[in-house]
Structure 1
Amino acid sequence: MLWVSLPDQRPRRELYWMSRMPGTHVTALAREEPVGDLTWVPSSYRRPIKRFIEAGAFAWVKGLDEQDPDSFDWVASLELCSLVTGQASRWRRRAPAGRRPLQAVVTWENLPNQPIYKVPPYRQALESCRSADLLLCMVDAARDHLLANGFDDERIRVVKPGVDTEIFSPAETPTQDPVVAFISPLAENKGIDRVLEAMQIVQRTIPEASLVVAGRGPLRDQVEEAAADPRRRVRLAGSLDAHGVADLLRGSAVFTTAPRPTWKWTEQLGLAYLEAQACGLPVVTTRCGTNDEAVTAPNDLVDDSAQALAESLLGWLQDPARRVEAGRANRARMVAEHDLATQVTRMGAAFASIERIHAS
C-alpha cells in the first residue's frame, strides 16, 4: 500500500493502523517519520497558506509522481476533501489500466453538508473520490455522511478505531486523589477554557481537586496562567507520547474535555475518550457532534456549560466506588469493541472484501 499523508498527520492513527493490518506493507509519503513497521519516504509539501487544519490543510505533497503505480496494490489517504486525496486519485488514474492500484479513502467526516466541500479545490478532491474502491469509515456517522452525498453503499465499510489495550490499561490501584485529566489540543473547539472554568466551580466544594493538562495549541497561555497560580491546582504536562498519556491517565480519577462545534467541524469520536476508558476512567464531556459513539453510559454527556461540567465532575470525584464500577465497565467495553489488534484485523478484512469483488 502507498499511503499519502497530510502535512500534519498525527502519529498512531490511520497510517499506523494501516501498517498493522495483517499481510500489509505500507510505504508512506510523510513529512515526519511515522510510527509503525513501514517504509518512510521523507516528503515535503507545497503549502501556500496554513489557514485550514487537519484534512482541510491547503497543501499538496511533493514526489508522488515519482512512485511507480505497478509497485502497489492500493493507494490510500485520509478524508475526501484533503488535497492529497485528490492527488492520489489523479496519480492512480494516470497509470495504465492493467497497473492501476485500487484506491481507499479513510474518513471520519460526520457533517452531511460539510462547507469545505463547496470550496474549490476541495470540491474537486471530493468528486475524485467517487471512483475510489473503498471508503473506510471510522464512525457510523461517516457512512451516513457518505450516503447523504451520493456515494455507493457497496464501497463503504465501517470499522471503528482501536486503541492499544496493553499500553492503555488501568492502574493496579485506582487513585483516590481528586485528579481530573484533560488530554486534547489546547484549542477553543476542544474546550480547555470551559474545563478551566468548571474546575474553579469544582474547587468550591473540593478545594484539593486538581487538573492535569496534556496537549498544545493556541490556548496554551490560558493554561500557563492557571498553572502559575498555586490556588488553581493546574499542571501543564505538555505533549506526551502514548506511554506518557497512559501514565497520566492511570494517575487520574476522571477524564474530561468540553468540545464545541466550529463552522466546519464537530466532534466525530475522540480517541482520547477510548484511551481513558481503556485505562478504567469515567469520562465527562460536553455533548457534541457524534461523540456519543464513544461516550456511552455510565459516562456523562452534558450540556455545554461550565456548571453542567462541574456538577458531573463533582459526582464522580465524590464517589470513588462509582468510579471503580464505571472504570471496570469502560475497560471491558474497550477490550471487546476497540482493541487495536482486533480492529486492524477488521480493517484488513474490509480491504480484502473489496479485493475479492475486483478479482471476481
Structure 2
Amino acid sequence: MTRRLLWVSLPDQRARRELYWMSRMPDTKVTALAAQEPVGDITWVPSTYRRPIKRFIEAGAFAWVDGLERQPASEYDWVTSLELCSLVTGQASKYRRRASGRVKQAVITWENMPYQPLYRVPPYKQALESARGADLLLCMVDAARDHLLLNGFTDELIRVVKPGVDTEIFRPRRDGADRPQIVFTSPLAENKGIDRVLEALQIVRRSVPEATLVVAGQGPLRPLVEQAAADPSSGVSLAGQLDAHGVADLLASSAVFCTAPRPTWKWSEQLGLAYLEAQATGLPVVTTRCGTNDEAVHAPNLLVDDDAEALADGLLRFLQDTALRTSVGAHNRARMLAEHDLATQCARMGDAFADVERS
C-alpha cells in the first residue's frame, strides 16, 4: 500500500534535502506545500507564507504557510515538517488534531542544542509543545535524540536515521584533482567560516604558492569573497551558486574540502551535508570542531580549533602528501557507500514510518 505524505515546507527550504528524501522513501507519494517547485517525484502545491519578519533564522523562520487547512485530511496518511520550533510544525500539529486520528504527524529534526533558546520564545514554544502529540520524531543525527530526551519527549517515538548522499552524482573523478585546489561549498555566512578559510589560504600559500581556493555558494559574506577574488594574487575564485551536478564537478576537480563553522547563540553545526558530498567524491576534509560535526567528519579527516593557523596546518598536511590524500579520500568514499548511500538511507527512513504504522 502506498503511503500518502503531506509535507509542509519552510519558506526557505533548500532543495534535495529532507523533502527530497521523503520522496525517495519506498511506496510513498509526497505532496508538498512549498514556495519553490521541489526537486523529485513530488506533487507541488505552490504556497505563500505569512512572514512578518523576513529574516531567516535556520528552521525557526518566523512564517506560517497559507492553505494547509484547505488540504483534505482524507487524502493523506501523514503530515510532516522540519524542526520542532518551526511555526509550520505548529500548523501541522493543528492539522493532525483536526483530522481526529486519520492523519499521523512526523517531525524531522537535526536540533543538537539540548536547550534551544528559541524554545523559550513564543510562538516557537507553542510549536514545540504542540509537537509532543506527534507520532514520529525522525532524527538526522544522534545528538538530536539526546536533545529530544532532555526536553521530555518519549523515546518510543524517536528514530535516528542519518542522511544519505547521492553516491552516483558525488563520486571520484580524476580530472585535475592533483592540483592543490581547496574547495568550499557552503553558505557564505559567518557561521560557516568562509572568512577563516580565506585567512588560512594565505598562510597555506606561503608554503604552497600555487594553492588555490574555489568558493561555491551564496550569502551575506559574498562581498568578502568577491573582494578576494578580484585580486589575481589571492588564489581565490568564486563559482557562485551551483546545482548538485555543478558542486560534484567542482569537488571532483579539487584536492581538499574545507569549512570553518563556528557556533551562534541559536545554532551549532549539526552534521553538514557538504561534508558527506565531499567525502563521497573522495576528498579529505579539514574543518573546525563545531557542534556535532564529528558525526560526519571522522578520523583520519581533521577537526581542528577555530584558528586560521590550525586550518592551514591541516590543509598543508594533505596538500603536501599525495599518498595520504589519496588514502584518506578512498577511505571516505568507502564509508559514504557503507553508511550514507542515499537509496539505503531513504529506505531506512521509510522503515521508521512503517514501524509507527504497524504499531
TM-score range, shorter chain: over 0.9
> Which aligned segments of 4 or more residues in structure 1 are displaced greater than 6 angstroms?
none
Conserved 8 A contact 2:175-2:252: no
Tell me the TM-score normalized by structure 2. Answer: 0.98
What are the within-5 Å matches in structure 2 for residues 13-162 of structure 1?
A: 13-97=17-101, 100-162=102-164
Q: Which amino acid aligns with 2:179?
A: D
In 2, Cα distance between the equivalents of 1:184 and 1:13? 14
Tell me how far 1:173 sits from its aligned partner.
Answer: 5.6
Q: Which amino acid aligns with 1:128?
A: S
Secondary structure of 1:329's match? helix
In 1, Cα distance between the equivalents of 2:148 and 2:273? 21
Gaps of 5+ in 1: none
In 2, Cα distance between the equivalents of 1:166 and 1:124? 41
**Percentage of matched positions with identical amino acids:** 75
Secondary structure of 2:334's match? helix
Residue 266 (structure 2) aligned to one of 237, 241, 264: 264
In 2, Cα distance between the equivalents of 1:145 and 1:101? 26
Question: What does the per-residue CA deviation read over 1:164-183, in whole Å, with 9 as the maximum and x for residues that have no partner?
Answer: 00000001466211000000
Secondary structure of 1:267's match? coil
In 1, Cα distance between the equivalents of 2:85 and 2:315? 37
Partner of 1:350 in structure 2? Answer: 352
Partner of 2:246 in structure 1? Answer: 244
Q: Which amino acid aligns with 1:315?
A: R
> How large is the Cα RMSD of the aligned pairs?
0.8
Tell me how far 1:51 sits from its aligned partner.
Answer: 3.1
Secondary structure of 2:233's match? helix
Conserved 8 A contact 2:175-2:253: no
In 2, Cα distance between the equivalents of 1:165 and 1:92? 36
Tell me how far 1:125 sits from its aligned partner.
Answer: 0.2
Residue 321 (structure 2) aligned to one of 313, 319, 322: 319
Conserved 8 A contact 1:254-1:284: yes
Secondary structure of 2:266's match? coil
Tell me how far 1:96 sits from its aligned partner.
Answer: 3.4
Secondary structure of 1:285's match? strand
Question: What does the per-residue CA deviation read over 1:296-319, in whole Å, with 9 as the maximum and x for residues that have no partner?
Answer: 011000000000000100110000
Partner of 1:281 in structure 2? Answer: 283
In 2, Cα distance between the equivalents of 1:173 and 1:245? 14
Q: Which amino acid aligns with 2:132?
A: R
Secondary structure of 1:231's match? coil
What are the within-5 Å matches in structure 2 for residues 194-213 of structure 1?
A: 194-213=196-215
Secondary structure of 1:49's match? coil
In 1, Cα distance between the equivalents of 2:304 and 2:328? 17
Gaps of 5+ in 2: none
In 2, Cα distance between the equivalents of 1:293 and 1:170? 22
Tell me how far 1:50 sits from its aligned partner.
Answer: 2.0
Secondary structure of 2:299's match? coil
Conserved 8 A contact 2:174-2:253: no
2:340 pairs with 1:341:
no
Tell me how far 1:275 sits from its aligned partner.
Answer: 0.3
In 2, Cα distance between the equivalents of 1:42 and 1:76? 17
Partner of 1:163 in structure 2? Answer: 165
In 1, Cα distance between the equivalents of 2:234 and 2:68? 50
In 2, Cα distance between the equivalents of 1:96 and 1:289? 39
